[in-house]
Amino acid sequence: MSKLATFLSGAAASASAIIAITLLTGAKAPPAKFEEIDVGRINVREPDGTLRLVISNKAQFPGAPWKGGEEPRPDRRDKAGMIFVNDEGTENGGFIQKGVIGADGKASAGLSLTFDRFRQDQVIQLLHAEQGGTATSTLAINDEADGLQMDVRQRSERMAEIRKLEPEARRAAVEEMRGKGLLSTNRVRLGTTPGKSSALMLSDAQGRPRLMLMVTPEGKPSIQMLDEKGQPVKTIDLETK
């Protein structure tokens, strides 16, 4: 036997011995290391199998994790990204993104990073959207109901029932939910507008805009104070030189 053959035989025997010892003693094998990996989807799980994070291409992107199961989300079939999952196996935020050039030759793109309240929708969202040659970037902070009082699935079912009502009854039912704090309400919105202004909007607990700070593309700043119907009660325009 050549020296090379002897060496390879010994190395194989040593590897087999290490594997056998690991299996017999329960010793933890060293983690695998990669310089680069191509993969369609990664599921990160706890030792008990609980899903905690999904990173996926759009072809394998999941629905919404919900209490250890999964709810259909057909609106996500054209997006890739990652989903955060809490201890009970329910989605609590994530990052999704897409970007294509349409038939008109213009970009259509969207990126959204969100953080959800427990069993609810997002309370923080960082969003960028492009459509038809215009682009906006926004930071939104929302109020959400206590998920143990009414979770996002129960709210969706209730809203489906409300949509079947006559217009007057529908408005009354929506206002009842709003009055109980069961609807998502935007409180702070900071970002750029389709007209390329920069703006900060602050709203009350009912989601009614009450204060707007804006700077136009030309550099003209303004402050607007609004009543409960959204009508300006005081406006401060500062002329720039």
For the chain of 241 residues, list the mean pLDDT of each consecutive stretch of 10. 52 57 64 93 96 97 96 92 97 97 90 98 97 94 96 96 96 94 96 96 95 96 95 85 47
Nearest-Å Rg of the Cα atoms of the chain is: 27
Amino acid 241: pLDDT? 47
CA 46, CA 48: separation in Å to the nearest integer?
Answer: 5
Amino acid 15: pLDDT? 57
Amino acid 205: pLDDT? 93
Amino acid 31: pLDDT? 86
Q: Is 96 exposed, middle or buried (0-12, 13-18, 19+ CB in 10 A)?
A: buried
Strand partners, 212: 201, 224
Amino acid 22: pLDDT? 59
Q: Which residues contact 43 (CB under 8 A, 6 or more apart)?
A: 51, 53, 54
Amino acid 117: pLDDT? 98
| 70, 117, 128, 144, 222 from 141: Cα distances, Å | 26, 12, 15, 10, 22
CA 73, CA 210: separation in Å to the nearest integer?
Answer: 34
Instruction: With residue 17 as reference, give the H or E element that holds it.
Output: helix 3-25
